Structure formats: C-alpha cells, structure tokens
Amino acid sequence: MQNLFFVAVATGIFSGTTLSATAQPSVNLEKMSAAAPVKKSQKFIDGIEIKAGTVAAMQTAVVKPAAASTLTVKEEAEVSAIENCTSLQFKYALLLDMDVENITNKILFDEIEKWLDTRYRYGGTTERGIDCSAYTGTLLADVYGLNVSRTSRNQYDECEKIEREDLQQGDLVFFNTRRRGKGVSHVGLYLGNGYFTHAGSSTGVTISNLSDTYWSSKYIGGGRFTTSTSEQ
C-alpha cells in the first residue's frame, strides 16, 4: 500500500495536479515553487552539505572487497604454529633468541624448566642439588632415552666428537674449568644458537652461551650420543 501511495504522489507531482486527504488541506505546488525556490544544495546537519547527485553517487559506488591473503602455504603454516605455541615456548624463545616456532622439543624444555635454578651440589643427583654430569645424564635419559656414564670425563671419552659449527640440540659441550691441569671438568647440553644448559658450581642449573668470554676460553669440544653407553 505504501508503494502505491508514493506512486500516486509522484504521478500527481509530475502531472501538476494536487493531492488532498480528508483531514489535510490541499497543497498548491506551483505557489510553493514560486515562494520557495529549490536550492541546489541543502545543509542536512550543520557543516555537512548534501549536493545534488551525492546520493546517486553513493548508491552507485563500488565497494572493493578485502584483498585476498598473499601468504604462502609455508607462511600460513608458520603463523598457525606461532598461534598454537605455549607460554613456555615463548619464554625459551626469548631466552635463546630464537624464533618461537623453532622451540619444538617440549619434553626437553619442560625438563629444563623443572631443573632451572636448582642449586649445584657435587655428587648430587636430585632437585635438592645436582652436579653438571648428573644433570646432562638426566636430560639425555629422560628426554632422549639415552643412558650414559656418570662423570663428565667419561661422557667425553665415550661420545662422538662434533665440531662446534656442527652442534645440534641435544649434543653435549665440554669444558676445562680448572685453574690448573688439563682435561674435561665440566659439561652442558647444547640447545641451539650458541646456548647450552648446565649445572654451574656458582650458578646452579642455568643457561649460558658459548660466546661468553669465560665459556669460550674454557671450551674443549662437543660430543653426540646416538646410543646408550651404560645401563642405569
């Protein structure tokens, strides 16, 4: 009904006739036109001017669709991996200065998190205190299922020797921290990007970098275990 009414109004306007309703006086469009000429533009709200053709232009404007994703399949996979990372992964990504999606061995970092800040104790093997070789031996056993000898010297003797530039996560790194004498006296487990975790005599279980002046000067070499060398 409303549509028919508007059609009737329009027909009346363009034919020069007037429309009347029972309760409304007739309207003389010719007199209105003479008394109040139509302006080319009107101010709908203060400061906002609506000009002829504006509505038509708005109606015919083409809304451009959002640009399609330009990410490759690999990049989308990386984004998804980052979104699914845990707070622990973000923590160690910051500590090791690595991309969070490269912190993939959750078992390893859960184990490190459990031992982190445990005090050093020579001969110790528990969370009340642990020494360097007991710590690396525990990580190798609990994370990689490898049982190795108890002392750092024996671990060095029994491992496959690895060049520093070929170190991988899970390899061992060996040092001579004695003031006098030669040979291996300390061991840690390599994490990547130059970082390793170890039980230091003055720090307890911590994370250090091979590039640090002290550790760089004490470094002997790296080693790798692919099979167990002892039964525990």
Identify whether the C-beta of residue 116 lies closer than 8 Å to the C-beta of residue 98. Answer: no
Given the residues 167, 170, 187, 198, select the one marked as catalytic: 198
Alpha-carbon torsion angle 193, 137, 206, 120, nearest 10 = -160
Given the residues 132, 140, 184, 187, select the one marked as catalytic: 132
Tell me the C-alpha distance between 113 and 121, whole Å: 18
In this structure, what token pair is assigned to residue 197?
């975790």
Longest dimension (CA), the chain: 118
**Could you tell me what percentage of the chain is helix, strand and coil, using 3-state DSSP and rounding each to the nearest 5?**
40, 20, 40
Q: 198 catalytic, yes or no?
A: yes
Reduced to 3 states, what is the DSSP secondary structure of residue 175?
A: strand
Identify whether the C-beta of residue 109 lies closer than 8 Å to the C-beta of residue 92. Answer: yes
Tell me the C-alpha distance between 26 and 45, whole Å: 30
Given the residues 89, 156, 174, 186, select the one marked as catalytic: 186
DSSP state of 63: P
**CA angle at 175 for the pair 146 and 154, rounded to the nearest 5°:** 40
Residues taking part in catalysis:
132, 186, 198
